[in-house]
Structure 1
C-alpha cells in the first residue's frame, strides 16, 4: 500500500476512502474526533431553520402538488461545504507515513574450532558418544554467531584444516556432519599440531579478535610440535585459546562385548597441559563430563566472544496534509459555485 500511495496523484478519489486513510500515522489525531461534529452542526442548523425560519405560504390545489427529485439538489451545497470542512480537519490532523531503515554491522571475530577425532572420542560417557556430542554443540555454536568467520581443524595422530575461515555457515554445518573417525588414519592425539594448523589459518587475519576453541579428551601423544610451543606461537599472533577437556574419569562405557553387553574401560584426562595452553593463550580451560556441561561451556564461550552489533537507524517521514488541503479547496470552490446557481434557491416542500 505504501508504494501505491507514493505513485497516486493527489486528485485521485482513492485518497478520500478508508483504505488510504488507514495507512497514515496522525500527528494531531484529536482533529479526527471533531469530524463527526460536522454533520451534527448541519443537522442542528436544519432544525433551527425548520423551527424559526421564514416560511412562504403558497396555496395549491391537491391535484397540482407533485413531488420532484430536483428538490433534493438543495442538499448539494451544504454537503460540499461539509466535505471541505472534513478535508481541512484531516489536513490539521497531519497524516504522515514513516519508513525506517536499519543498518547493522559488526567487526566480527575469527574462530577456529579444533576438534579431536581420535578413537577415544568413541567412548560413550556422552550420548551417543564424545565426538557426536561435540559435533552437536559445535553446530549450535555456529548457529548463534553473526558475521564471524569460523573454520574447522580436525586432529588425531595428525591435524589438518577441514574448513578455512568462512561465513558460509551452511557449509560449516555440512562439514561438521561429515566428520568421522576414519578421516585421519594415523592414531594418537596431536594437540600441538592442531594448534599449529589453526594458527597458520589465522596468521594473516586482521580481525579484531582471533580465537581457537580446542576440544580434546587426551594427552598430546603425536604430532611434530609441542603443545606449549604451539600455544606460545598462537599467543604471539594475538590468538586467544579456550581448551575443553571432554570425558569422565574412571570406568566409562565403550562399545559392547561378544554378548552385546556394555564394555567398560578406564578413562583419565590429564588436565595439566590443556590448562597451561589456555593460560598461555589468555583464554580459559573448561572440563565437560556430560552433554549438558558441554553445551553450557560453549554457551559461556559464545557469550565471552560476542562483539557488539552496531546499528544505524534512518527514519524518513512524508507528510500528506497538502493533498487534503487541495481537496478542501476543490470542495470549497464547488460549494461557492453551487451557491451561485438555482440549486441554492430551490424551495423546500
Structure 2
C-alpha cells in the first residue's frame, strides 16, 4: 500500500504559484501598523501578541495551504498487489486481427468475424471470474495487449476495444503470436496453463514458425486449444461500393490447427458462426481447476477524507490560537 497523486502533473503549476505567494508575503506584504495614544495601557494588559506567536500562526496557515494544494492533486492509496487464493487456470487468448477477420460467415447475423470473436471472448471471460486471463493480438506483427489479470472489468474493456488496424493486419504471424502467448505463461505457477488460439487463416512468413512455437509450448507444459474461424461453405465481405460479395473458399489451415492442438494436449474446434464458437468456449470451460495464488493489480482508494480532516484540524487549531488563546493585535 502506498500513496500516489492522480493529477501529479498539476505540481508544475501549483508549486510556482505557491512560491510566488511566499515571495509576495515576505518581499511585498507589509503588516498593518496601529498607533494608539495610550499604548502603555495595551502593553500592560498583554493585548499585543509577540512576534513568536505570529510566526506560529503563519506556519499553521502555510501548512494548511500546502495541504489544500496536495488535495487538488487527488491523493489515492494504491494497493498494488492484493494476493487472493482462487481456484483457476492461467489462460491467454491469442486473437487473430489480420485483414480477413473483417469477413462475414453467417448471413443471418451479418457480423464480421472479429466482432463474433470479441463477443464470445467477453462472454467466456465473464464465465471465468477466478482465472487469470491475458490477451495477445497477432496480424503481420504481434502485441501482448494485456498480461495475466483477474481484473475482468479492464480485460473486457480491452477485448471490446480491439479493432482491425490496431496493428499491421496484412499477414498472419500465427507462430510468433503463439510464442508471445507462451512467454506470458512460462513463469506461471498454475498446474494448468492453456492458450486459446483464434484464427481464420494460414501463417504467413514470420520470425517464429508454428512448429517451433509448439515445441516451446510442450517444454512449458502448455495446452493449446485452437478455434478455426470460417464457414466451410464460403464467406462474404460487405464492400461499401459493391455491397455483399461472396468468396467460395476459406483460407483456414485446418490441418495445422489440428496438429497444434493434438501435439500440446488441446483440442481443435471449427466455428462457422457465433453458436459454434460459443460451443467451443463452453467445452474449454469444462477444464479442471487448480488452486493458485494470483495477484490483482492496482486497487485505488481515495485518500481525500483522510487529509481533509487533517487540514480542518489545522484550521481549527489556528482559529483557537488566534481568537481564544493569543487574542490581541
C-alpha separation in 2, matches of 1:296 and 1:137? 10
Which residue number corresponds to residue 123 of structure 1? 103
Paired positions, count: 205
Within 5 A, what are the aligned runs for 1:164-175? 164-175=147-158
The aligned counterpart of 1:302 is 285
Spell out, residue by residue over 1:313-344, the C-alpha distance to the aligned partner (whole angstroms, 9 max, x if none): xxxxxxxxxxxxxxxxxxxxxxxxxxxxxxxx
- Asked if the contact 2:138/2:174 (under 8 Å) is kept, the reply is yes
The equivalent position to 2:90 in structure 1, one of 93, 110, 113, is 110
CA contact (8 A) 1:113 1:151 kept: yes
TM-score, normalized by length of structure 1?
A: 0.56
Kept in 1, the 8 Å contact 2:140–2:169? The answer is yes
CA positional deviation for 1:290 = 1.1
Q: Give runs of aligned pairs for residues 230-241 of structure 1, distance below 5 A.
A: 230-241=213-224
Equivalent pair of 1:244/1:288 in contact (CA under 8 Å): yes
Report Cα offsets for 1:186-207 as digits up to 9, x if no partner: 5111110111000111111111
Q: Within 5 Å, give how 1:88-167 maps onto structure 2.
A: 106-126=86-106, 127=109, 128-167=111-150
**Alpha carbons of 1:264 and 1:167: their partners in 2 closer, same or farther (altered >3 Å)?**
same
Q: Distance in 2 between matches of 1:308 and 1:231?
A: 26
Helix, strand or coil for the counterpart of 1:279? helix
Query: C-alpha displacement at 1:303, in angstroms?
Result: 1.2
Q: Cα distance 1:308–1:164, how it changes in 2: closer, same or farther (>3 A)?
A: closer
- Name 1:337's counterpart in structure 2: none
1:287 positional shift: 0.6
CA contact (8 A) 1:228 1:276 kept: no
1:65 — aligned with what? Answer: none
- Tell me, yes or no, if structure 1 residue 287 matches structure 2 residue 267: no
Query: For residue 185 of structure 2, what is the aligned residue in structure 1?
Result: 202
Could you say which residue in structure 2 is the equivalent of 1:243? 226
1:264 maps to 2:246: yes
C-alpha separation in 2, matches of 1:144 and 1:198: 21
Alignment correspondent of 2:257 = 274
CA deviations over 1:113-165 (Å, ceiling 9, x no partner):
00001110111114411110010111011111132110000111121100000
For the 8 Å contact 1:157–1:222, the answer to whether it is kept is no
- Which structure 2 residue ranges, 5 or more long, are not aligned? 1-83, 293-329
Contact residue 158 and residue 222 of structure 1 kept, 8 A: no
Name the CA shift for 1:179/1:305 in 2 (closer, same or farther; >3 Å).
Answer: farther
- How far apart, CA to CA, are the structure 2 residues paired with 1:257 and 1:186? 19
Q: Which has the larger radius of gyration?
A: 1
Question: How far, CA to CA, are the matches of 2:189 and 2:241 in structure 1?
Answer: 55
Q: TM-score of the superposition, structure 2-length normalised?
A: 0.59
Alignment CA distance shift 1:122-1:303 (3 Å) = same
CA distance in 2, matches of 1:140, 1:186: 25
Q: Say whether the 8 Å CA contact 2:237–2:244 is kept in structure 1.
A: yes
Structure 1 runs, 4 residues or longer, greater than 6 Å off:
none
Cα RMSD after superposing both structures: 1.9
CA contact (8 A) 2:136 2:180 kept: yes
One of 210, 215, 219 as aligned partner of 1:227: 210
Whole-angstrom CA distance in 1 between matches of 2:150 and 2:260: 27
Q: Which runs of 5+ in 1 are unaligned?
A: 1-103, 310-349
